Amino acid sequence: MPLSENEQRILEEIEKRLQEEDPRLAQAVSRTSVHQHFSSRIRWGGVAFLAGFVMLMMFAVSAWLAIAGFGVMLVSSLFVYQQIRRMTREQIRAYGQSGRFSLPALVARLTERFRGGRREPPASER
């Protein structure tokens, strides 16, 4: 949901005051973006999913290990899905337009296609 004009103005005023009062903090905050935060969480979720898959493939060693692996895969996939839902579409599109491969943007596009199916483009885009 985009900010209203009033909310955007207030946010810009807060950023300006922060820059004036504590430039070091403002610089540190600007270095870590929301996209980096979400993408690192999504990467860790992917690593956990792979670890769960490896555990699942160890069913010859122990059935309990395989069951635990399935649980890890399920929880990590739900975690990744939750992180992607938290990102707004605008954030995902902006992150995807950076010119490099973006896992969050890819998964978000796939999710959007899955939900909406194939739609005809508006007449203005044809």
SS3 for 52-67 is: HHHHHCCCCCCHHHHH
- Record the pTM: 0.52
User: What 8-state DSSP symbol labels residue 97?
Assistant: T
Lowest-confidence pick of 20-29, 41-50, 61-70, 93-102:
93-102
Residue 22, phi then psi, degrees to nearest 5:
-145, 85
Whether the Cβ atoms of residue 52 and residue 69 lie closer than 8 Å to each other: yes
Instruction: For residue range 48-81, list pLDDT tens digits in order.
Output: 999 999 999 998 899 999 999 999 999 999 998 8
Residue 42 predicted with pLDDT over 70: yes
Whether the Cβ atoms of residue 87 and residue 104 lie closer than 8 Å to each other: yes
Whether the Cβ atoms of residue 12 and residue 26 lie closer than 8 Å to each other: no
What was the pLDDT predicted at 46? 93
